[in-house]
Chain A
């Protein structure tokens, strides 16, 4: 029956496309060294303000052209609300939250993470172009959710 020949061809084609996509993903992650947030440690959300490094939020240099931005997302702001880094800097974002789940999306970049009480969130990104990047909390966090934002200034 001809239908089955076509069906088999279609399914093979589909399978090959899916595998090709997976190979591309593998390259996109391992080959280009782009990673998802992963395990970065646990924290007691009620002790955030006194737990290093969150007792001193802010940007600090950790190597040549490498910076760490330690930030806290809480209802309904980020601390610090604005951070500054030089163009070309590789920034490691280290974040957590003392209250509810928040989002952290640096617009126009792939810095896109969830802040979950009890967990530390971390990811790296290199800012090549100078400019102002808005940080948006993109997870619902209560009535003031749409007022929660911050800024990365790249000079």
Chain B
């Protein structure tokens, strides 16, 4: 294979230990949250199998309190803690410069403070409103403020990345930004834009309302603002995983990324299309014209396209790796890939589960067809194949090199690391099979099935698979946690990777021509805002001013 140019600074990158330490702790917050969250995850899965283990949970006052904890801990804290550590690190590595120390610390501290507030509210059962926080169910103000702080921590991480980028740009006025830096920054810029509506909802309505400064809120408006952010949030979870798939995984597999420009285009498409699609979560809502829902359906199909491009590009990079290791024939390269490397294996399993996640997602997006599955267990079945596996397994795989890299200690047991990923994968596939089939038979999500006043024998088989798969998932994550804790505490000193595994590309970035425009973040942000105005402007123009009709309800 011919040598390829790389614009990464090959020497001179050494993140100071003071920054590594804070990045590490930021990411640890996420692992602790993940591990805390799976206990109630297990209880939920078993509840759908008609087995009640909740009474063995001391201090828990009910299913929905635990479900709130599960959603927040796993989908919000775990994911963003990881991104808050991972994306700044990728930026620093790509640009060969340290981060801003104060901001690294602030990111971690604000994230932790937000967590403590949320934990207080949830543990004292003053916030059993689920992570979607739909008004007029009203939580204690510490819950809303805590979530706001978690979002603020992501903003701080982005500011850090932008400052580093700016400094790098000053020194390299004419250079293309290295690919890894570009896609890391674009990921969090997308999330920043996406997070603004929820910030408006929380700061403008829910927080003052929970403090008693505002008597009533508008349930449809706050819900719409939630989903304005809420679809893009799933891409904020996914894009850091894509950063690893595009920019790191090829190297780990012994291959190369096929195209610099294609990768940048994919991330720019995600920036443009992730946000103006939120009404696909509100297909069954009243008060929103059907035509607007249809526009969002089309845009949602549009945002599927860069994921298709990703499927091709990432698999092609793996194929290059497999063939370089002697793989022959149509599929012979698959078995030649280094499946014994837990980091790579976990991420390839993540890609596998994501095939099913993507297909089931397209069905969710399918407009009137959504009425068959909306709010049935089909939906959690679907998203445990996306955030609950494609993202989670990728984060697990990345952890297997990242934690050694950040701690200076070797991975504590390769075998156990591999097993944890496989157990989780098998578990989540069985789990999702159960949730999806029972969902088609109408089994409702967000429902304490063991105690439900109604039942249906058609749910029994799917419910049982949910319980079996969920149990395996639980053990997979528990084992992962042990591997990480043991690595941090007892991994062999010095046996760690000395660098981030950054891939080379087959085609280098062009130094002239239209491709340079892919780096013009300001322009793409402007186009994104324009698309959001097109997607949400007509609704807001028709709907506003806010209809403040609902006082708060605390029914938990």
Contacts and interface: CB of A to CB of B under 8 A. Distances in A.
Given A34-B368, A136-B454, A140-B130, A112 B553 contact: no
A136 B368 contact: no
B285 A114 contact: yes
B62 interface: yes
Interface in B280-315: 282-290, 293-294, 297-298, 301-302, 304-305, 308-309, 312-313
B219 A101 contact: yes
Interface string A42-86: 101110000000000000000000000000000100000000000
A119 B304 CA distance: 32
Interface string B91-133: 0000000000000000000000000000000000000101000
A6 B330 CA distance: 14
A149 B308 CA distance: 41
Contacts of B547: 42, 118
A60 to B, nearest CB: 21
Contacts of B285: 37, 113-114, 116, 119
Given A7-B258, A38-B288, A112-B374, A142 B137 contact: yes
Given A36-B368, A40-B286, A14 B555 contact: no
Interface in B119-170: 128, 130, 134, 136-137
B53 interface: no
Given A114-B285, A143-B62, A11 B375 contact: no
A146 interface: yes
Contacts of A44: 549
- B interface majority secondary structure: mixed
Interface string A14-33: 11001001100100110000
B366 A21 contact: yes
Interface string A123-155: 000000000001011111111111111000000
Contacts of A120: 286
Contact of B286 (A1, A116, A147): A116
A101 B134 contact: yes
B6 interface: no
Contact count band on B:
35 or more
Nearest to B444: A138
Contact of B316 (A3, A21, A113, A118): A3
B277 interface: no
B218 to A, nearest CB: 7
A51 to B, nearest CB: 12
A117 B219 contact: yes
A143 B374 CA distance: 21
Contact of B375 (A10, A108, A138): A138
Contact of A37 (B286, B294, B301, B372): B286
A7 B313 contact: yes
A112 B371 contact: yes
Contacts, number: 200
B360 interface: no
Interface in B437-453: 442, 444-449, 451-453
B289 A38 contact: yes
B506 interface: yes
A145 B258 CA distance: 51
A143 B67 CA distance: 12
Given A36-B284, A103-B375, A147 B553 contact: no
B104 to A, nearest CB: 37
A138 B378 CA distance: 12
Interface in B232-249: none
Contacts of B442: 105, 107-108, 134, 136
A120 B287 CA distance: 8
B362 interface: yes
B286 A105 contact: no
B305 to A, nearest CB: 7
Contacts of B308: 10-11, 14
Given A36-B367, A36-B368, A122 B258 contact: no
Contacts of B218: 118
A39 B285 CA distance: 9
A86 B308 CA distance: 47
B372 A110 contact: yes
A81 to B, nearest CB: 11
A21 to B, nearest CB: 7
Interface in B9-62: 62
Nearest to A34: B368
B288 to A, nearest CB: 7
B301 A75 contact: no
A7 B64 contact: no
A68 B366 CA distance: 28
A25 to B, nearest CB: 5
Nearest to A115: B286
B458 to A, nearest CB: 9
Interface string B198-238: 00000000000000000000111001000000000000000
B230 to A, nearest CB: 15
Contacts of A3: 258-259, 316, 506
B366 to A, nearest CB: 6
22 contacts: A7-B262, A7-B312, A25-B297, A28-B368, A36-B283, A36-B368, A37-B285, A39-B288, A44-B549, A101-B134, A113-B284, A116-B220, A116-B287, A118-B287, A119-B285, A136-B447, A139-B375, A139-B446, A143-B64, A144-B555, A145-B448, A146-B453
10 smallest A-B Cβ distances: which pairs? A142-B555, A138-B444, A14-B308, A121-B286, A138-B375, A119-B286, A110-B371, A146-B452, A107-B442, A147-B453
Given A11-B312, A108-B442, A141-B555, 19 more contacts: A3-B506, A11-B309, A14-B305, A21-B301, A37-B284, A100-B136, A101-B219, A101-B223, A107-B442, A111-B371, A115-B286, A118-B218, A136-B447, A136-B454, A138-B374, A138-B376, A139-B375, A139-B446, A145-B448
Interface of B: 62, 64, 67, 128, 130, 134, 136-137, 218-220, 223, 258-259, 262, 282-290, 293-294, 297-298, 301-302, 304-305, 308-309, 312-313, 316, 362, 366-372, 374-376, 442, 444-449, 451-454, 456, 506-507, 547, 549-550, 553, 555-556
